[in-house]
Amino acid sequence: MDKRFVLFIALTVTILFGHQWLMQKFFPPPPPKAVEVVKKDPAGAAKATASGTAKPSASGTASNAPKPAGEVSGAAVKPADGASAAAPSDVQPQWITLGSMSHDSPFRMLVTLTNRGAAVERAELNHPRYHEVDNFNKLGGYLGYLAAENFPPADPDKSKPKPKPIGCKVNVVGPGTPAEAAGLQAGDVITAIADQPTPNLDDFATAVRGTKPRTKVKLKYLRGATAEKPGETRESDVELGRTPLQLIHPEFSDPAEPTKADPLSFITTLQDANGDSLPVEKAELDGVELYDTTWEVLPADPKQPNSVAFKKAVPQRGVELIKRYTLEQRVPDAKTDTAQAYTLRLSVELKNTTANPSLLAYRIGGPTGLPVEGAWYARDTKISIAGGGAGMRDVMYGQFDNGYATNGVFTCTQIVDKSATHLTEKPINYIGVDAMYFCAAMIPQKADPNERQFARVVPLQVGKSPKEAYRLKETDVSFQLMRAPVEIKPGESLKDEFKLFLGPKVPDLLTEYGMGAQIDYGWFDWIAIPMLYLLHTFYGWVGNYGIAIIMLTLVVRMAMHPLTRKQAQNAQKMQQLQPEIKKLAEKYKGKREDQARAQQELFRKHNYSPFAGCLPIFIQIPIFVGLYNSLKVDVELRQAPLISENIRWASDLSAPDMLWYWQPVMPFFAGDDGWLGPFLNLLPCITIALFLLQNKLMMPPATDEQTAMQQKVMKYMMVFMGFMFFKVPAGLCVYFITGSIWSICEKMLLPKPNMAATPASEAVIDVEVKKPGESTKRSKKR
- Residue 232: phi and psi, rounded to 5, are -90, 130
Amino acid at 273: A
Q: 131: which DSSP letter?
A: B
Q: Is the peptide bond before 263 cis (omega within 30 degrees of 0)?
A: no
Residues of the chain with pLDDT under 70: 1-91, 134-138, 155-159, 253-259, 564-577, 590, 607-617, 667-668, 698-708, 710-711, 750-782
Complete DSSP assignment for 160-178:
SPPPPP-EEE-----TTSH
Output the pLDDT for position 485: 94
- By the 8 A CB rule, do 98 and 325 touch? yes
What digits encode the pLDDT tens for the residues 209-229?
Answer: 899 888 999 999 999 988 788
Length of the chain: 782
- By the 8 A CB rule, do 190 and 159 touch? no
Output the pLDDT for position 56: 39
Output the pLDDT for position 32: 35
- By the 8 A CB rule, do 507 and 519 touch? yes
Nearest to 310 by CA among 116, 480, 498: 116
For residue 777, list its beta bridge partners. Answer: 768
Neighbours of 495 (CB within 10 A): 12
Q: Which element (helix H / strand E) includes 18? A: helix 2-26
- Residue 177: phi and psi, rounded to 5, are -90, 160
Alpha carbon distance, N-terminus to C-terminus of the chain: 34
Outline where 445-591 has alpha helix (H): 507-512, 525-542, 545-559, 561-587
Output the pLDDT for position 70: 28
- By the 8 A CB rule, do 413 and 392 touch? no
The 3-state DSSP class for residue 349 equals: strand
Nearest to 442 by CA among 451, 431, 428: 431
- By the 8 A CB rule, do 475 and 461 touch? yes
Output the pLDDT for position 753: 57
Output the pLDDT for position 33: 35
Output the pLDDT for position 777: 46
Q: Where are the beta strands (DSSP E) in 713-759?
A: none
Nearest to 59 by CA among 512, 394, 306, 381: 394
d(CA 591, CA 584): 10
Longest dimension (CA), the chain: 114
Output the pLDDT for position 307: 95
What CA dihedral angle connects 196, 198, 199 and 204, to 10 degrees?
140
Q: Count CA within 13 A, CB hemisphere, residue 195.
A: 1
Q: Where are the beta strands (DSSP E) in 202-245?
A: 216-223, 232-239
- By the 8 A CB rule, do 125 and 50 touch? no
d(CA 564, CA 139): 47
What CA dihedral angle connects 517, 519, 523 and 524, to 10 degrees?
-90
Nearest to 23 by CA among 664, 375, 470, 661: 470
